[in-house]
Structure 1
Amino acid sequence: MLNVNFYEHIDDTLLKFAVIVSKSNGKWVFCKHRERTTYECPGGHRELEEDIITTAKRELYEETGATTYTLEEVCVYSVSDGINESFGMLFYADITEFGQLPESEIERIELFDQLPDKLTYQDIHPILINKINSFLKVKGILNNIELKDNIIPDISDLIDLYNDVGWSNYTKNIDMLKLAYDNSLRIVSLWDVNKLIGIIRVVGDGYSIIYIQDLIILTEYQKQGLGSMLMNYVLNAYKDVYQKVLLTENQTSTVKFYESCGFVSNDKYNCVAFVQFKM
């Protein structure tokens, strides 16, 4: 059985293919291969020295004939059989005009209100469609999102956010949480109208070192690039600081996210880190 995983970022050299989930006039766009009786989303493999967005544009035209459209990068995804894992970029296209379908392995395109029953990649495409549906939902919400710098949210909002991601060690000691925020170097938060949906907290001197203590995105808003938005904002604000440090759990997706932000494990610098936790 194939497993599909999603990532906000990954090393560009690992991206081997692009898949473009597409709509036109509110209907899903699917391709029918000449040698198959099933349908699939436009997409294909990346050519040598081709950037991934060029891959997406080329494949979208070759497999649908789309000439006028908007194209958005959604996220990295991977397909794994439990032994090997391959990575690609998922895109969303809203097609407004088609030209003549180029001569290729694609016989025709069809528009569907719902997913067709016969899919070439039955284990993969429904998952990608669900991801796009979530993306489109959040995209509508993102228009309302506001970034606030150095504003300490109400403690009730913080507690809700920390509890949502299971960080109960912080919410067990409310006084500690209040003092931690009162004495932070910088706090940057994201709001959906009056709802706290994300936060990043920085401690340190702001010149020789900063420590990124917390980076939290409300669960329902995750995997939409908001964590990267907060991280990039902070890294840009402290771009001249000598050391930028953080401590995080050793999970593959978490490690890949921070590596995509430019962080490396301290052993790469022939260093060792020490820590004491009061459990």
Structure 2
Amino acid sequence: MIDVYKETPFFASRRPVDDMARMTQMFKNSNLVMSAWSENQIVGIARALTDFSYTTYLSDLVVRTDFQRQGIGQKLIEQIQAVAPQAKIVLLAAPQAVDYYPHIGFEKHESAWVKSNKLD
């Protein structure tokens, strides 16, 4: 799965892709992960944390560059939402993806806040 992140330039710079232990913990502690495949190659990942009733935080939505613009990201989001249909989806968009989310039905929210940790 890390190869999908590394192959997508804006994700490779925004996730600790060279820290296998940290990436492993990120996936181990996510309670909802969906993947998209083309034959035997993983081409997309949606990683989320959810309470299954009110909010789903979509922490990662990554699709290999050569598979983008085929609806894979939107399908992964639909699969995440199908598992927790009562929950709204909340996410922080990478700067390169801010135009993508309104296109698929997301609304911009002006009062999100982020406090960075010492590792990032």
Please tell me whether residue 259 in structure 1 is matched to residue 102 in structure 2: yes
1:266 counterpart SS class: coil
Show the counterpart of 1:175.
Answer: 21
1:273 to 112, 115, 120: 112
1:248 counterpart SS class: coil
Residues in 2 aligned to 1:263 and 1:203: alpha-carbon distance in whole angstroms: 18
Please tell me whether residue 185 in structure 1 is matched to residue 31 in structure 2: yes
Q: What stretches of structure 1 of length at least 5 have no aligned partner?
A: 1-157
Residues 194-214 of structure 1: per-residue CA shift (max 9 Å, x gap): 211111011132222110011
Are 2:45 and 2:63, in contact at CA under 8 Å, matched by a contact in 1?
yes
Q: Which is greater in Rg?
A: 1
Show the counterpart of 2:63.
Answer: 217
Higher relative contact order (CA 8 A, sep 6+): 2
Please tell me whether residue 205 in structure 1 is matched to residue 48 in structure 2: no
2:3 counterpart SS class: helix
Q: Which TM-score applies when normalising by structure 2?
A: 0.85
User: Post-superposition shift, 1:259?
Assistant: 1.3
Give the paired residue count. 115
User: Post-superposition shift, 1:236?
Assistant: 2.8
2:82 to 227, 236, 256: 236
Q: Which TM-score applies when normalising by structure 1?
A: 0.39
Amino acid at match of 1:188: M
Residues in 2 aligned to 1:217 and 1:274: alpha-carbon distance in whole angstroms: 26
List structure 1 segments (4+ residues) > 3 angstroms apart after TM superposition: none
CA separation of 1:199 and 1:177: change in aligned 2, threshold 3 A: same
| Cα-Cα RMSD | 1.6
Residues 151-179 of structure 1: per-residue CA shift (max 9 Å, x gap): xxxxxxx1211110122432122111101
Amino acid at match of 1:245: V
Please tell me whether residue 250 in structure 1 is matched to residue 95 in structure 2: yes
Residues in 2 aligned to 1:192 and 1:178: alpha-carbon distance in whole angstroms: 23
Residues in 2 aligned to 1:186 and 1:231: alpha-carbon distance in whole angstroms: 11
Residues 86-117 of structure 1: per-residue CA shift (max 9 Å, x gap): xxxxxxxxxxxxxxxxxxxxxxxxxxxxxxxx
Q: What stretches of structure 2 of length at least 5 have no aligned partner?
A: none
Residues in 1 aligned to 2:20 and 2:67: alpha-carbon distance in whole angstroms: 25
Are 1:232 and 1:261, in contact at CA under 8 Å, matched by a contact in 2?
no
Are 1:184 and 1:202, in contact at CA under 8 Å, matched by a contact in 2?
yes
1:194 to 18, 32, 40: 40
1:163 counterpart SS class: helix
Amino acid at match of 2:29: N
